[in-house]
Amino acid sequence: MTILVTGGAGFIGSNFVLDWLGACDEPVVNLDKLTYAGNVHNLAPLAGDQRHIFVQGDIGDAHLVGALLAQHQPRAVLNFAAESHVDRSILGPGEFIQTNIVGTFQLLEQVRAYWAALDAAAKTAFRLLHVSTDEVYGSLSASDPAFTETHRYEPNSPYSASKAASDHLVRAYHHTYGLPVLTTNCSNNYGPLHFPEKLIPLMIVNAQAGKPLPVYGDGQQIRDWLYVKDHCSAIRAVLASGRLGETYNIGGWNEKPNLDIVHTVCDLLDELKPRADRQSYRSQISYVTDRPGHDRRYAIDARKIEQELGWKPAETFETGIRKTVQWYLDNPDWVAQVQSGAYRDWVAMQYAQA
């Protein structure tokens, strides 16, 4: 048996592949385009491991995807591949439409053709698991209940709109063609191997470099944070036992305003790697112009996955964020390697008016 993972050189995908091969011997075919966000160094522990087959390519390349399915005969396809950064989607939505919508469509078409030709037993066993986000549900007010799986889709950014479109396509392929799909909608992840364009790794990296810590607007926007390894265990649970055609919300019951997150990161760094002048890293916080259309609050009601599949996060925010900060302190080479010229160009452009 084999699984095909797309986007397995990115933040969550690489954590998933590493955890999967740490827990079992079922081989992984890993299809990743290696955009700026994809990093083969994330998979360095698997060098020479026969169970991991890495292929550089696009989920929208019908010929390549069809050939990989025919060659490796996976029993499941897990789709992590996406353009994933809201700020980049605001600056240039084109790639988001291309990969998240058109790419998912092409992948679905290839998977549908492959699945239709399987024998009865393989057909019954097959799964396509589509990894999505809570951002498709839009923004909550302070008093709204958390997102359940039946919450209306109200995406507000080009990123979330493109993910919503991909979710709808996945749903339609189940309803129309009977493709055995599962969809997961997860809250904000954090943890090792997180590209430092997102809030938590950006703060850790900027703090140590003595740079400003850019907080958008009033810093009171709320996100529901989940340690990436917990997201990976939830995906394994949904793949193993999720009901066909269902969606599962995944979250850590961990709502926090951005400013609290930044304070926590600063306090951990103050403890683990104090500044030479003994001032707190909090003194580097800098309030900058808010993101256009910035969603105020996300919160996940994760009761369905807990009640149906018995899944719960293993980490609290306190344990997860400490591990995360420690990981960045222990891996300066990884940080230096991802901060390539292209990364520096992005930071210069995005924070130019800060």
Tell me which residues touch ligand NAD (CB under 6 A): 6-7, 9-13, 31-35, 37-38, 58-60, 80-84, 99, 103, 131, 133, 163, 186, 188-189, 195
Tell me, rounded to whole angstroms, the distance of Cα 231 from its chain centroid. 9
Residue least distant from ligand NAD (Cβ):
10
Residues carrying an active site annotation: 134-135, 159
Amino acid (one-letter) located at 281: Y
From ligand TYD, ligand NAD, none, interface partner of 214 (C-beta below 5 to 8 A by class): ligand TYD
Sign (positive or negative) of CA dihedral 260, 261, 262, 268: positive
Q: For residue 275, what are its two tokens?
A: 């500044």
Cα–Cα distances in angstroms (integers) from residue 169 to residues 172, 183, 341, in the given order: 5, 11, 36
Position 132 contacts ligand TYD (CB under 6 A): no
Which residues pair with residue 171 across a beta bridge?
none
Position 199 contacts ligand TYD (CB under 6 A): yes
Measure the CA–CA gap between 163 and 99, rounded to whole angstroms: 10
CB-CB contact of 213 with 266 (8 Å)? yes
Radius of gyration of the chain (CA): 20
Q: Which span (28-36, 56-64, 101-109, 212-220) binds ligand TYD, by CB under 6 A? A: 212-220
CB-CB contact of 34 with 81 (8 Å)? no
Pairing relation of β-strands 226-227 and 189-190? parallel
Position 158 contacts ligand TYD (CB under 6 A): no
| Of positions 258, 264, 284, 324, contacts ligand TYD by CB under 6 A | 258
Q: CB of residue 124 vs ligand TYD: minimum separation in angstroms?
A: 36
Position 285 contacts ligand TYD (CB under 6 A): no
Position 346 contacts ligand TYD (CB under 6 A): no
Position 198 contacts ligand TYD (CB under 6 A): yes
From ligand NAD, ligand TYD, none, interface partner of 223 (C-beta below 5 to 8 A by class): ligand TYD
User: Contact residues for ligand TYD (CB under 6 A)?
Assistant: 86, 188, 198-199, 202, 214-216, 221, 223, 258, 291
